Amino acid sequence: MRKLWKTSLVATSVMAAGVLASAADPPPWAYARNAPNQHVEPDDGKARSVPGSTRTYTLKEIRNGFSPPDWHPDDHPPMPDVVGRGRAPDVRACGYCHLPSGIGKPENAAVAGLPVAYFKQQIADFKSGARRSSVPDIPPQALMLKTALAASDAEIEAAAEYFAKLPPMRPGWITVKEVATVPKMTVAGSIVVPDGSGQTEPIGQRVLETATDFARTELRDAHAGYVAYVPVGSIKKGEQLVTTGGGGRTMQCNICHGTDLKGLGDVPRIAGLSPTYVVRQLFDIQAGTRNGPGAALMKGAVAKLTEDDMVAMAAYLGSLAP
């Protein structure tokens, strides 16, 4: 596991006040960057286990991006090679980052249940350069780009068909909580985590999404889950923006994403997604780093959004059943 060094999350005091260095700066809490001095526990050869699974893996096996641990095989059908093993050296197994069940984590996308055409278009956008991240060098985004560029048409088709058949998310995978204060955070494993000091600070206008059990998350257990702390009142504000457009601030999301926000045709669901992930996508589309056919349809919807609006919309969407 990773030892959590007691270093503050980048620009914590600035972010807590809801202020950025400039309007174009990506919010650091949404693009978590691991501390440079983060210590990773070496493999000791001992078998690890998680609740509800009869399987065991060593840390070396758990960290193998070309053969991810499958703790809960009953959660999904047999994985195609690209999901379960990938293709070394460049096509990392989809199930490593997005988990075999496809439900994803805050630092990446939930791909379970995505329409086949939408999934394939996103990979095409990565390949063409249309889809990029506003902070491209953080590991989850860099690894996704490397994998997408190297994946063959047959591998993309197999992954798209596999994930499209899976249920979108486990109930309770992400719990959204409105709070005024949060534990002081650092970054480990590409997510924010309490820094161990026991100190708290105002949440400000941030989403701080952390693991309910960091040790199990590091073991890549798809039953561990996350809690997303959001500002008090943000869910109600987000509901107003999402359902009515906020008086011209944006557009009603159900026009494209379906009446229940669980997708419509080739348009993906947005209900129940990681709030951190949602903020990143809204920001990237507004900033122009995420493009492509789907993103083009979103340009007008995000053009007037402030960072506070993005936080509120993400909080509301994350609070919905997937």
Three-state DSSP state, 9: coil
Residue-level length of the chain:
322
Mean pLDDT of the chain: 92
CB 250 within 8 A of CB 269: no
**Residue of 246, 240, 272, 243 lying closest to 113 (CA atoms):** 272
Q: What does the pLDDT look like over 97-132, one tens digit per residue?
A: 999 999 999 999 999 999 999 999 999 999 999 999
Q: Delineate the domains of the chain, giving CATH numbers in brackets.
A: 14-26+171-319 (1.10.760.10)
Q: What does the pLDDT look like over 223-268, one tens digit per residue?
A: 999 999 999 999 999 999 999 999 999 999 999 999 999 999 999 9
φ and ψ at residue 251, rounded to 5 degrees: -120, 155
pTM: 0.93
Average pLDDT over residues 200-208: 98
pLDDT at 97: 97
> pLDDT category, 24, cuts 50, 70, 90?
low
Beta bridge partners of 191: 188
